[in-house]
Amino acid sequence: MVERIVVGSMYTNAYIYSEWKKECILIDPGDDHEEIIRHLTLKNLVPRGIALTHGHLDHISAISPIQDYFAEKEIKLPIAVHKKDKQFLGKNAEQVHRKNFNDLGLNDDTLFNSIFTDLPPADIFLDEGDYIFDSDLVVIHTPGHTAGSLCFYSESQGILFSGDTLFFEGIGRTDLPEGNMEKILSSIKKKLFTLPELTRIFPGHGPDTTLEREIRHNPFV
């Protein structure tokens, strides 16, 4: 089961992924924690953990309230991210995210404070080839949008969670710190475009697509 929940002012795709009856993996809970919890409750699902495709604020800001909700039920939700994006979490995260906002020209404390929440440190560092929370999702390291950007691929299900690396006829921006156009294009061509063309892609923003479509029609690659 894949369920997309569009959250926050940047219309980020948060995903609930489940190959079990009672458990799931929560991917990129970027905002609107109450809505995410409502979907989990309706499905009667408990996350095994939270997996992040990268550390930008619009993909992670609902982590703390979701963790707090499940902590009241004595359920701990570990956070998994690539080690090169660990600076987006933990005690120094606010400074890092404020700099990103400033680099985008968003010098608005009211806007930042409406999005930012205290962020706990990561519990698990993912790397190429790892399986996420004992699921069939395998990690593909795709630097370019950030140094620690990841995609999550299930060969058996034929699906790819592409984060902000690959979109419907688009790619992730590379004008923030650690962004790199050459690296993101290399990640897409050498790691993603070698997967089966019928793979269904669930990106970090916008509609889902297929690898076949992006190979043939994505104007950036």
> At CA 30, angle to CA 104 and CA 97, rounded to 5?
35
Q: What is the dihedral of CA 204, 207, 213, 214, to 10 degrees?
A: -30
Amino acid 108: pLDDT: 62
Structural domain boundaries in the chain: 2-217
**91-112 pLDDT, tens per residue?**
888 888 888 777 776 666 666 7
pLDDT band at 65 (very low <50, low <70, confident <90, very high): very high
Classified by CATH at the fold level, domain 2-217 comes out as Metallo-beta-lactamase; Chain A (3.60.15)
- 166-167/138-141 β-pairing: unpaired
Instruction: Pick the closest to residue 35 from 58, 75, 63, 6 (CA basis).
Output: 6
Residues whose CB is less than 8 angstroms from the CB of residue 139 and which lie 6 or more positions away in sequence, other chains included: 82, 126, 127, 128, 129, 130, 131, 132, 150, 151, 152
